[in-house]
């Protein structure tokens, strides 16, 4: 991406999405920052434009997923404790805090699907392409993750 203004606009718009997807995937502030920065450097250096904003977003999320997978192989990679991650965020309601804790406590494969589906707004077919797994796998993971969330949230409501 040669045009500096174009890069600045795209980075401002999508850096939070890139960072939060990486954060959810990696469960580490430091590694998420590194992954997000690598994605933005690739964006900066990319020659040629994108067909549309959707194309740009898809490219960024795909590169983010790849950077996260790369980070997992690093001997320096460390997941942060759940409590530490929750302290970094300011939730408006206890329900949001509970949802965050529940999602972040799940296995990575479920977190990734949840983030891409609910937060990045991708369909199960698009997530399958992003993660390189069959769409049926994505649907199964999403169904299991939803079931797990539903159970926890229902319990929470009953306690309240």
Partner 1 sequence: MNERELFKKTFDAVPAPEYLAIRAAVNANADTRRAPRRVLRTALIAAMLIAALSAAAAAGFLGGTKKDYVDVCNKELDALRELGLFHIEFEIEESSLRPHYDDIGPDMVYAGEVGSSGSAETVYYFLLGNMDTGKISGLSISARPQEDTEPAFINEVGWAIYDNFDAILDTNMTVGEYCDIWKQYQGYERYELPEGVEPEIRLLDTRELDAWSFSMEGNGIKIPFYRSGRGEPEYAWISYEATGSGPSICFGDSSLKG
Under the rule (CB under 8 A), what is the footprint of partner 1?
4, 7-8, 11-12, 15-16, 18-20, 23-24, 33, 36-37, 40-41, 43-45, 74-75, 88-92, 95-96, 99-100, 103, 109, 114-115, 118-119, 121, 133-141, 143-144
For residue 88, CA distances in Å to 14, 37, 44, 52, 136 come to 20, 19, 28, 34, 34
Residue among 61 and 138 whose Cβ is closer to partner 1: 138
d(CA 6, CA 113): 29
Size (the chain), residues: 160
Report in angstroms how near the CB of residue 41 gets to partner 1 at its nearest: 5
Identity of the residue, 59 or 100, whose beta carbon is nearer to partner 1 in the bound complex: 100
Smallest gap, in angstroms, from Cβ of residue 24 to partner 1?
7
How far apart (Å, rounded) are the C-alpha atoms in residues 151 and 14? 32
**Nearest Cα residue to 21 out of 72, 79, 62:** 62
Q: Could you tell me which of 100, 30, 40 has the C-alpha nearest to residue 64?
A: 40
Closest distance between partner 1 and the C-beta of residue 6, in Å?
Answer: 12
Q: Which is nearer to partner 1, 12 or 52 (CB)?
A: 12
Minimal distance, residue 14 CB to partner 1, in Å: 9
Task: Considering the complex, state which of residue 36 and residue 58 has its C-beta at the smaller distance from partner 1.
Answer: 36
Centroid of chain to Cα 76: 20
């Amino acid at each position: 991406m040669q045009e500096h203004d174009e890069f600045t606009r795209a980075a401002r718009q999508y850096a939070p999405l890139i960072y939060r997807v990486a954060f959810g995937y990696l469960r580490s502030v430091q590694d998420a920052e590194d992954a997000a920065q690598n994605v933005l450097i690739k964006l900066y250096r990319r020659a040629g434009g994108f067909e549309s904003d959707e194309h740009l977003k898809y490219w960024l999320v795909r590169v983010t997923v790849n950077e996260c997978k790369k980070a997992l192989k690093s001997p320096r990679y460390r997941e942060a404790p759940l409590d530490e991650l929750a302290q970094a965020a300011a939730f408006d309601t206890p329900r949001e805090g509970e949802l965050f804790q529940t999602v972040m406590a799940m296995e990575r494969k479920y977190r990734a699907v949840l983030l891409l589906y609910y937060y990045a707004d991708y369909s199960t077919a698009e997530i399958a392409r992003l993660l390189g797994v069959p769409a049926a796998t994505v649907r199964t993971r999403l169904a299991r993750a939803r079931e797990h969330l539903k159970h926890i949230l229902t319990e929470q409501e009953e306690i309240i």
